[in-house]
A and B are shown apart, each in its own frame.
Chain A
Amino acid sequence: MKPSSLTLRRSVDTFIKVLSMVASLVGILFLLWILWDLAFKGFEALDINFFTRRTGPFTVPETGMANAIVGTLYITLLATIVGVPIGLLGGIFLSEFGRNHPISSAVRFFANILMGTPSILVGVFIYAVIVLPMSGFSGLAGGVALAIIMLPVITRTTEDILALVPNELRESALALGAPHWKMIVHIVFRAARAGLITGVILAIARVSGETAPLLFTAFNNSYFTYYDVEGPMKYVYDMTEPTANLTVTIFNYAMTPYEQWQKQAWAGSLLITGAILVLSVIARTFFGGGKKRRA
């Protein structure tokens, strides 16, 4: 290090300190700025119609996003049903059966890479393997696309959380003669419950805000896609049709020059962001955190 005067070194140090405070402040200001705009512009169009009416032409003032809200719920539900069990079971293998198995390192490696794969490519993939063969966009395809995005997250989180369960618990269960699966389901899962719930909720929150993988899978729809028949099937949501969803609707609306639609896009954004933030906070506070995963 070149010798330099103490005053110079001190002023460089102070400069960096101030800079780091300013940088932190800038980061927080951007967050607050975005949230402020969301709240301010979102509340404007967030009326009762927004929740009760379907999407419709921008010339009609009494439209909402009810079908998109319902569609997003169903698509996310499907993604959860498909993605969570596979992810949990995969995580069990990594943590309980194959901790040092060579396949496990490959699975971890590919799971990390899959997490970093752009979500739009998952959309293109599902378009090729589900939408084309079924010759049509469908909520089903959208749900599966989101499930794929969830899968590596759940797998890795499950492994990390199960690894925190002390081995003594496993050994005592096995010593009592419990088979492996019983030991895992009744002992390990119970011990890791809070962490697992946190992980699953965070994963659901994360995929529910995804847009790119839904663009050419779930597509969009201005109607509810309940089966249009008499009888109990009337209440079943038809996932083989193009399905309205919040994020794609926001995208379509925001890209138009029509003020009515732009306002509704803000309202939709407020709703989805609010839901995600609430889910994340619930997951972290009520279920005691668990281990956070990044990247």
Chain B
Amino acid sequence: MDKSAVKARTNKVDLFFRGLTLLCAIAVILVMLAIGFELFRNSTLSMKEFGLRFLSDQSWNPVTSEFGALSSIYGTIVSTIIAMLIAAPMGIIIALFLTELSHPTLAKVVGGAIELLAAIPSIIFGMWGLFVLVPIMQTKVEPWLQAKLGFLPFFKGIPMGVDMLTAGIILALMILPFITAFTRDVLNMVPPVLKEAGYGAGATMWEVLKHISIPYGIRGIVGAMFIGLGRAIGETMAVTFVIGNSHKISASLFSSGNSIASTIALEFGEALNDPLFKSVLIELGLILFLITFIFQVIAQLWILQLKKHERS
């Protein structure tokens, strides 16, 4: 075989290899589009039956085939808001401890422990929530909240433990590691010279954080919040155990509810032989898909912009 033939064959193998890698890279895009398409295609039956009314209807009765997504959307939003209200300030303040306050060795241990929370499967959070946290919420925390703040509509009703508040707390625990880690990275990127200037001018640590570090890293911190939010919205197993799975809307956080993901997880099995019911659940999935898709896109664009900002 002469040299040019060897070269030609090498080129062919290279071309093939290159094409193969391109194909595998594109697979990610194809899968993403296919998920959206399939969710849409399989929910057409439900869309035809209920139309836009689906979004504003809170009825849910598989026997009479009356379905509406409102209670699921409401539950998803409320549980996510509770989770964010707890995890966002907590994550930021833990990141503050890790970057400013603690000894580097201690920071490594504490940071590692918080990150370990992210390695625990969500079903474990759910089960632990149901068997350990729910009884405590029911007998201790919620009666106490009711005694102190019972005049608020959020804390009315009989504390059952299996409710929105518990679901929000479990969700908060699950997204805490992400928010903490992300915020920690952001705070670590603040140039020391800025902080030193603050301290030099006599500012306290809190003032440096409030007036220098957070304004400097605000874009990154917002990005961290989006990531946490996206996770909380679609989290399934942990919520399914503790949210109670009832399709009603109540202002009280002590009442059970449902999220889109928990409803799909719990009711899909019953819907297998009922085409309309199944289609309804897949349309719920489509709604969840669109919500998380929008949040992820915003988060991605935000982070892309952030990187450009840093470069310039």
Contacts and interface: CB of A to CB of B under 8 A. Distances in A.
A122 B24 contact: no
A272 B11 CA distance: 47
A34 to B, nearest CB: 5
Contact of A97 (B18, B121, B211): B18
A232 interface: no
Contacts of A9: 204, 207
B1 interface: no
A277 B300 contact: no
Q: Give the size range of A's interface with the partner.
A: 35 or more
A128 B116 contact: no
Contact of B296 (A30, A90, A112, A294): A112
A52 interface: no
Contacts of A111: 28
Contacts of B209: 16
B93 A212 contact: no
B83 interface: no
Contacts of A179: 10-11, 13-14
Contacts of A86: 24, 27
B297 to A, nearest CB: 7
8 contacts: A12-B204, A21-B97, A23-B97, A24-B110, A24-B114, A91-B25, A110-B28, A273-B121
A37 B132 contact: yes
Interface of B: 10-11, 13-14, 17-18, 20-29, 31-32, 34-35, 38-39, 41-42, 90, 93-94, 96-98, 101-102, 110, 113-114, 116-117, 119-128, 130-132, 173, 176, 178, 180-182, 204-207, 209, 211, 227, 230-231, 233-237, 241, 261, 264-265, 268-269, 272, 281-282, 285, 288-289, 292-293, 295-297, 299-300
Interface string A196-215: 00000000011001111001
**4 tightest Cβ-Cβ pairs between the two chains A and B:** A118-B234, A209-B121, A89-B24, A93-B21
A90 B121 contact: no
Contact of A118 (B23, B24, B288): B288
A288 interface: no
A20 B94 contact: yes
A89 B21 CA distance: 5
Nearest to A127: B268
A273 B39 contact: no
A83 B53 CA distance: 40
A30 B17 CA distance: 48
Interface of A: 1, 9-10, 12-13, 16-17, 19-21, 23-24, 26-28, 30-31, 33-34, 37-38, 41, 85-94, 96-98, 103-104, 106-107, 109-114, 116-122, 124-125, 127-129, 148, 151-152, 155, 179-181, 184, 205-206, 209-212, 215-216, 247, 250-251, 254-255, 262, 265-266, 269, 272-273, 276-277, 280, 294-295
B291 to A, nearest CB: 10
The residue among A87, A96, A117, A151 with the most chain B CB atoms within 10 A of its own CB is: A117
Contacts of A122: 35
A166 B17 CA distance: 22
Contact of A109 (B27, B182, B241, B300): B300
A212 B261 contact: yes
A126 to B, nearest CB: 9
B93 A19 contact: yes
Given A107-B26, A215-B265, A116 B121 contact: no
B285 A1 contact: no
Nearest to B180: A27
A124 B264 contact: yes
B207 A205 contact: no
Given A13-B204, A110-B29, A120-B265, A30 B173 contact: yes
A155 B94 CA distance: 31
B234 A121 contact: yes
B173 to A, nearest CB: 6
Given A118-B261, A181-B17, A273 B120 contact: yes
A216 B288 CA distance: 18
Nearest to A85: B24
B124 A114 contact: no
Given A121-B288, A254-B241, A16 B93 contact: yes
Nearest to B23: A89
Nearest to B98: A24
A146 B173 CA distance: 24
Given A1-B211, A112-B300, A212-B265, A181 B13 contact: yes
A90 B27 contact: yes
A109 B113 CA distance: 30
A37 B10 contact: no
Given A90-B21, A107-B28, A179-B14, A280 B119 contact: yes
A269 B124 contact: yes
Contacts of A124: 38-39, 42, 264, 268, 281-282, 285
A107 B17 CA distance: 18
Contact of B113 (A28, A120, A262): A28
The residue among A113, A210, A272 with the most chain B CB atoms within 10 A of its own CB is: A113
A243 to B, nearest CB: 16
Contacts of B178: 294-295
A38 B132 CA distance: 11
